[in-house]
Structure 1
Amino acid sequence: MVMRIRAKWGALLELREIDGISDQENVQYTAHLAVFLCFVQYIAHIFFATYSMTQSSTVLQHVGTNIRSLRDEQGLSQQDLADQAGVSRRTIAALETGLVNISLAKLDAIAVVLGVDFRTIVSAPELKEQALVNVLAWQGDKEESKATLLASVPSRSQVELWTWSLAVGKSYIAEADAEGWQELIYVLEGELTIQFTDSTKIIAAGSSFSFASSVTYTYINSGNQVLKFIRNVVY
């Protein structure tokens, strides 16, 4: 299975590296990218059925080392990075020592200041060139509530593939992303409620939904079973 994924990803890279590709070839690349993401989503569904996270210490396990290394490379102090990313210096210090589970939006803001993408911040250094990363990036106060970044591939800028789960009665409040960011949701099990400022969207298992994520929104599990869904982020 791993060899099949690598083969598909290698073919995509070969297409992307051709200089001066025509519009038809660009459409072909986009189509291949869509097929690749669907294939990885299938793998993600299997992953959800078999994977169990046993240690909460694996949450953001590489973030501290990566932030400290990137900050040192750019000659930034903790205060410099905090000011530019819009967080407190204590947050940066806690991240670098692995003592805080920060919101994904704030972590992405730190990545922007450091000049890297989200995947680079949360992944092990040896995985920085790979599409499949499989990193637990958020953990709620219940073991069943978590978000795992499975893959991140280049599009015009970036596409991320996530698995999410929320325990019964739990929610995740998301901060607004930058203009132009989009999310594509597919619910595997349970029922996902997305609460916006002036509306609510309920997505049943087997259904999908897409929206511009440059607004504040909340994922809610108001059902009676653990909620599991796929989240694609395009920016």
Structure 2
Amino acid sequence: MDQSTASLASAIGGRVRHERQARRLTLDQLSDLAGVSRRMLVNVEQGAANPSVGTLLRLSDALGVGLPALVEPPEAAPLKVTRSGEGAALWTGDAGGRGVLVAGTQPPDVLELWDWTLGVGDAHASEAHVAGTHELLQVHHGSVTVTVGDQKATLNAGDAIGFAGDVDHGYANAGTEPARFSLTVFEPGVGTSPKSNKTSKAAANDA
């Protein structure tokens, strides 16, 4: 990992550990709730891993905090400015693409704003998010093919699409030049799902 990636991994690890301990959960309990191996969870908390977006989503859902909470300081602020280059790069592609989380809100209804680039040939597949999740995407440069379930749509610069994020989906660049797009993800009821309720029960049972 380069220095910026290592710094982000360390910050994420500290937040995961803080949220887990605040809920009095053991590593095994959170591993079970999130469907993430104990080894991966340990590596994440130690900042020794560069976890996938899918892994971070599973951990944030299990903790009931939402993905933005894992990459931002815990203190709430009425005005949160993310300067150019300061977003959390949570995905990198083989052809140089990046998925950068630039802004987000707190639970229970979490809104995420992403700045994505896809190099030629880059593709990102995403697991289904929690029920009721919706995504909005607009292409700024190049072309992006969006797959939602068994449907596909190719968007060019200026085109936009809205779709349900609670089914498997993905974004790919099959064009001849790099592509860039903005993505907004709305995830409702974070921390109120049965999985999050299990988190509280697990902590109570361990008390």
Normalised by the size of structure 2, how large is the TM-score? 0.78
Match of 1:38 in 2: none
Letter in 2 for 1:189: H
For 2:73 and 2:116, how far apart are their aligned partners in 1?
Answer: 20
Deviation string, structure 1 residues 73-126 (Cα, Å, up to 9, x no partner):
222111111101111101101111223232323312211222312111111345
Separation (CA, whole Å) in 2 of partners of 1:172 and 1:219: 5
In the alignment, structure 1 residue 200 sits paired with structure 2 residue 149: no
Label 1:124 to 1:232 Cα distance change in 2 as closer, same or farther (>3 A): same
Q: Distance in 2 between matches of 1:165 and 1:208?
A: 15
The count of aligned residue pairs is: 182
Question: Shift of the alpha carbon at 1:177?
Answer: 0.8
Counterpart for residue 174 of structure 1:
126
Gaps of 5+ in 2: 188-207
More helix by percentage: 1
What root-mean-square deviation, in Å, do the aligned CA atoms of Structure 1 and Structure 2 show? 2.4
1:109 counterpart letter in structure 2: R
Q: Aligned partners of 1:154 and 1:87: how far apart in 2?
A: 23
Give the number of the structure with larger relative contact order, counting CA–CA contacts within 8 Å between residues 6 or more apart: 2
Partner of 1:164: 116
CA distance in 2, matches of 1:131, 1:152: 9
Whether the aligned pair in 1 keeps the contact of 2:145 and 2:174 (CA below 8 Å) is yes
What is the rounded CA distance, in whole Å, between the counterparts of 2:133 and 2:183 in structure 1?
A: 13
Please say which structure displays the higher CA radius of gyration.
Answer: 1
| TM-score, normalised with respect to structure 1 | 0.69
Which residue is equivalent to 2:6?
57
- 1:162 Cα deviation after fit: 0.8
Residue number in structure 1 paired with 2:36:
87
- Percent identity reads 29
Q: Which runs of 5 or more residues in structure 1 are unaligned?
A: 1-52
Deviation at 1:58, TM superposition (A): 4.3
For the 8 Å contact 1:175–1:215, the answer to whether it is kept is yes
The one-letter code sitting in structure 1 at the alignment partner of 2:121 is G
Q: CA deviation at 1:131?
A: 3.9
